[in-house]
Amino acid sequence: MHGNDADPETETLDIHDCWKYLRSASVCRVALTVDGGPEIFPVNYVPDHGTVVFRTGPGTKLDAVFSGNPVALEADGLNTYGTIAWSVIIKGTAEVVDSQKDFQEAADAGLSPWQAGSKEHLVRVTPTEITGRRFVINPPSRWWPPLDSPGPGCHQPGHEGRSGS
């Protein structure tokens, strides 16, 4: 793995691996600017010719897209065994597309919102930056203190740690 300085078990993904992982998932979080502050929403998405598309209805997400502010999307996942995790972030611009061809391509690619309601707007996010990482999921014994060791705030007389209570 191509490690970074913080953790030798973390690999920086190249652009091809980022798209491979994005194609393997169907839900991401989209971060938008709403009333001058960040908001994050889960959305169903599909990669589409070097962009990502999702459907939405009238409201906060659509208003934020029309504002023209940059957006970010993050998708994550695990391998089959739950031992390797990945995360991909796309930063870019969003626009509403409304051609029947775009809707048909999105439907053919499997875009199907989970939540009921009107989702008549198709939003296309065009990346300006794509980054990703993959890392080994360490067992809790690597990052959590043993249960028999005193934890923070456990310095009361007669209390010998977090276990045994």
The burial class, CB within 10 Å (0-12 / 13-18 / 19+), for 128 is: exposed
**Tens-digit pLDDT profile for residues 91-114:** 999 999 988 999 888 888 888 877
The band of 165, judged by pLDDT with boundaries at 50, 70 and 90, is very low
Name 10's bridge partners.
135
- What's the pLDDT score for residue 162? 47
- C-alpha pair distances (Å), 71 with each of 14, 54, 126, 144: 21, 13, 9, 35
Say yes or no to pLDDT of 156 above 60.
no
Q: What is the C-alpha to C-alpha distance for residues 66 and 25, in angstroms, rounded to an integer?
A: 26
**163 in a structural domain:** no
CATH number of the domain enclosing 33: 2.30.110.10
**Counted domains in the chain:** 1
**114 in a structural domain:** yes
Per the CB < 8 A criterion, the answer to whether 16 and 26 are in contact is no
The band of 43, judged by pLDDT with boundaries at 50, 70 and 90, is very high
**145 in a structural domain:** no
Say yes or no to pLDDT of 149 above 70.
no
